Chain A
């Protein structure tokens, strides 16, 4: 149990670093991070269930200059971790009803993460001061190495908050579903409504010209195609 939270913390910390401080190769985006988180906890399928809606929900989480986005990586690890651990406590694989509860409980962590990022930026002013002092002291190599010190704070913030969010979900979700088993059906519907809204959020975030036409057109076209294929197969 404790090991799972340690793993979650490390995954969240590394994702927070990859997200801004190093590389930025999309590995910390929900579409990649959720399956990896699930895999790290032994349930890649659970991660794969939440990855598409979370990616689409936060498709517009973009860092433009000094304007900060929500911390989608932190939210993703907490939600995925919470869902997998709650499923494990219930003795089942991650189901839509577990996943939607994890989303409802942990998604606000993405906003908390943005607040933390602001403080990290202020904290980083000190690294520049240290670097300037080292340069004045005649050591340029040491001066610029303070840059890497900036990786520590985002790692620590995500490594602490993501397991905390997952722990909350892992405690609340099994208790709730055991107490109110009839909630499962409605929650399942809630998951699909959420996933559909997430797709709409992705379309809105892309800000293409004539986006409504493309979104509604593709939605309608794919629905008709799907129904026709489904009808032909049955």
Chain B
């Protein structure tokens, strides 16, 4: 009995240790890496992975493929920037404001689409993104095509404004972790089961008492709010936004990390982001001078290769691979599933008795 408990505890400790080490590496990177170029790539990885996690809540977990996440991000950036520049509000409060606005807009716009099934949602999400962009380009209040700039000034946590990239690195890292934990929490909750049931079969979901429309709306609102948060982060980092933030290509970019990493997994966008974004930057730096556009071509080839040979993404392959078996059994000393269950059941009966 206690043997099994010990084995499970040892495994959990090993996992915590491994994750702790990984986190430590990320925390220490700015201490050793001084190049702003490299740090910028990491910040890019952080916010694009977060955006991709937002997409994955809808695309991966709920099976609703959105191609409009750049619009949520852009709208969130605009909402918070305008509140800062026009009303002089605190950036952190503006971030919350931006998230609420975008959540509401997404909920209201997509409610009617979810009454219909199938690809309507995808189509509307594309139209939504383009409509928002056109609206902003033509609206004086939103600064038209010239965009909105955030005020420069002294470094300040209160104003979330820094000359160095290091604070953005840490805030970005915290954002990724926070959103990852949120997504993990959602996955294991009632909502997560509802979303995955809807993904697999909407009729089956309704038959067990899930209101598909309600949960899809919840998913789109949460997803849009996270995207809005990313928009705020982006705006604070770049300190300038324009309607180009919302172009269709940016929405597609939010999909790629999830698909490459494995859309069925909460960790998918993180793995995909860590691979694809540095790759894209590397190709740009290395080859774009050789021949214009060659970097995009190579990127596309890499993408096609992943989709052709690992259609379930890198994690989809890893989860059923010998590598994972080796890592689990030899490095982390993971006990068999039966041991976990035995421990779980024991704990319960012990508490009830």
Is chain B found bound to chain A in the same assembly? no
